Amino acid sequence: MSFMELANNRQSDRAFAAQEVSRKDLLKCVQAAQLAPSACNSQPWKFIVIDNAEVLKQAGEAISNNPLGINKFAETAPVLVAVVEEPATLMPKIQGKVPSNRWAQFDLGSATEHFCLQAAELGLSTCIMGAFNEEALKDLLGVPEDRRIFVMLAVGYPSGTIRTKVRKELNAIHCFNKYDA
Ligand SMILES: Cc1cc2nc3c(=O)[nH]c(=O)nc-3n(C[C@H](O)[C@H](O)[C@H](O)COP(=O)(O)O)c2cc1C
């Protein structure tokens, strides 16, 4: 698969086939995330992979019990992943000059996308979820009080087909040499 095909195949899926996902494949997704770039190579991430039936049930409920009332489908995902923001250790010459978490969200986004692209290459579906009950999930998963869960991921085998992407026009998102309003 070319990179463009892979980027096109990665899509947010909100329904999954009744097929188990192997830990081998899940670990490969984490390995892909491990390769992501991060500011000062601080790698401020931890992926909590949830594949135990009882924990899954409770995590699915904690996701769907969010103030926006979305993500009910999380209760049907064969695997859920909590992407946790860890403290970033910046290079000594930068430390103290910028907040240590200045670039952490960018880093977590990159790592999360690596995870999702690797999943797509393995024929797995993912959905990144920003809406969830963070406190309930932190309690359930034992995440320390001073850490944040950045996003949750639903992972499973697809039950549908690849959709056409809805995106802004190429011309609207780029220009050369000067900002073009
Ligand atoms: C940070 C982030 C948070 C998101 N949160 C949710 C969410 O809570 N629920 C959901 O169904 N999709 C969520 N999405 C998925 C987006 O809706 C989706 O990526 C976008 O519509 C583009 O569609 P595609 O991923 O299929 O290409 C989120 C995506 C990102 C990157």
pLDDT tens digits along 46-104: 999 999 999 999 999 999 999 999 999 999 999 999 999 999 888 888 888 888 889 99
**Top mutation candidate among 12, 68, 71, 115 for ligand 1, by most atoms within 8 Å of CB:** 12
Res 95: pLDDT: 86
According to the model, what pLDDT value does residue 15 have? Answer: 97
Two tokens, residue 77? 């995902």
167 Cβ inside 6 Å of ligand 1? no
Residue whose CA lies nearest to ligand 1 atom number 20: 12
Residue 101, SS3 per DSSP:
coil
What residues does each domain of the chain span? 3-173
Average pLDDT over residues 139-158: 98
CATH of domain 3-173: 3.40.109.10
Q: What is the pLDDT of residue 96?
A: 86
Of residues 152, 135, 166, the one with CA closest to residue 14: 152
Any atom of ligand 1 within 6 Å of the Cβ of 131: yes
- Contact 7 CB / ligand 1 (< 6 Å): no
Residue 42's pLDDT band, with cuts at 50, 70 and 90, is very high
pLDDT on residue 101: 87
CA distances from 14 to 32, 125, 126 (A): 22, 9, 8
